[in-house]
Structure 1
Amino acid sequence: MGASGWNYFTAYQPDAQAALDELRRQVFEAGDYWWAVPGGFGSSAADFPDRPRSEEELWADERVQESGTHSILDMTWVLADGEEPDFGTLAPVTEAEALARAGVARPTRAHVQALAPLAEQRWFGRYAVLHDDAGAPSELYFWGFSGD
């Protein structure tokens, strides 16, 4: 199947891990992910009434362990400053990266396209604090590629 790109906007909160945890909960509950079932290509888990009812049940399936969900569910941890990227982690966009890619230290939604190339590795994502026109944090933007 190959990797899939995904992206999500959430309301800003200073605790990016808490934002990720809430986003994962919402995506799982909505069934807005790919579930590795035979013949399930091109559909989401929401299309299957018998889909797993807990993340524990979802990840117990060997097919899911091998193929992932092609969604934010494949990401589990927000890295702290200085931590090295690893499988299933999300790294923050630094001010230097935002300046280099978007030409601003406080990116907005208008800069998302410029930031997109920062997530190049499969099974590793990025997140950026997006700002409103006054320069105040307004959203978190999560994006990356996952799934096989």
Structure 2
Amino acid sequence: MGAEVYWYYTDYQPDLNAALQTLRQKEFQAGRYNPAIPLLDFPITENSPAPGAQHISIEAALEASDADGTRSILDILRVDDRPCPLSRDEFEEALGGGEEFYQILGEVWNTAFLLPPAELITLFGTEQPTHEMIHSVLFGSKNPNGRNQFWDSIDRGSARYIIVYADHQPSEIFFSGYSFD
């Protein structure tokens, strides 16, 4: 099976890692992860299935998901305030093997990376995109080349995040990523 895409909006917190951990815990408690639900439908809404946690902990769910990963935000353990250090081509090369490559991959896997300001401007025309801008570009037809470039830039087992603005103030965090398999 190929990698599965996932995305979430969560309330903004200045501590981005705390926001990530809160979102992970929410989705774990809802049971929205593989293997509890093998394939999730996105976007997650109040009507999305929520069978409840099927494992004793997030760590147990990660272990049970094996090489596929949870196909959800549970796969992301940390937030990095830098852009991803590897391009898609470099990531694919690193998958080719060698001990030094696995060290590099360890810096990428399970991490949500900042989408750099230049990419925000390319995609949305601003460094402060709104919820509506993100939706229309990444899931609509407003900027198909930008949309494809964005999704193609995310490596398996990693994610990107964007601070979402309302009235020129941070209001949400958008997390998007690909599962391992």
TM-score of the aligned structures, taking structure 2 as reference length: 0.68
Aligned residue-pair number? 141
Instruction: Tell me if structure 2 keeps the 8 A contact 1:125–1:142.
Output: yes
**Superposed CA offset, 1:89-145 (max 9, x none):** 11112221111111112100122143554243221110100000x211111010111
SS at match of 1:27: helix
Contact 1:119-1:126 within 8 A present in 2 as well: no
1:73 aligns with 2:106: no
Q: Which has the higher helix share?
A: 2
Give 2:33's aligned residue. Answer: 33
Per the alignment, residue 94 of structure 1 pairs with 116
Return the match for 1:125 from 149, 159, 168: 159
- State whether residues 30 and 52 of structure 2, in contact with CA within 8 Å, keep that contact through their aligned partners in structure 1: no
Which ranges in structure 2 are unaligned for 5 or more consecutive residues?
42-48, 87-107, 139-146
Contact 2:30 / 2:51 at 8 angstroms: preserved in 1?
A: no
Q: Residue 21 of structure 1 corresponds to which residue in structure 2? A: 21
TM-score, normalised by the number of residues in structure 1: 0.81
Structure-1 residue corresponding to 2:100:
none
Contact 2:112–2:158, Cα closer than 8 Å, also in 1? yes
Percent identity over paired residues: 33
- In 2: Cα distance, 1:94 partner to 1:43 partner: 28
For 1:3, the equivalent position in structure 2 comes to: 3
Aligned-CA RMSD value: 2.5
What secondary structure is seen at the aligned counterpart in 2 of 1:22? helix
Contact 2:39/2:71, CA 8 A, preserved across alignment: no
CA-CA distance at 1:82 after TM superposition: 6.1
- 4+ aligned runs moved over 4 Å, structure 1: 40-49
Question: Where in structure 1 are there 5+ consecutive unaligned residues?
Answer: none
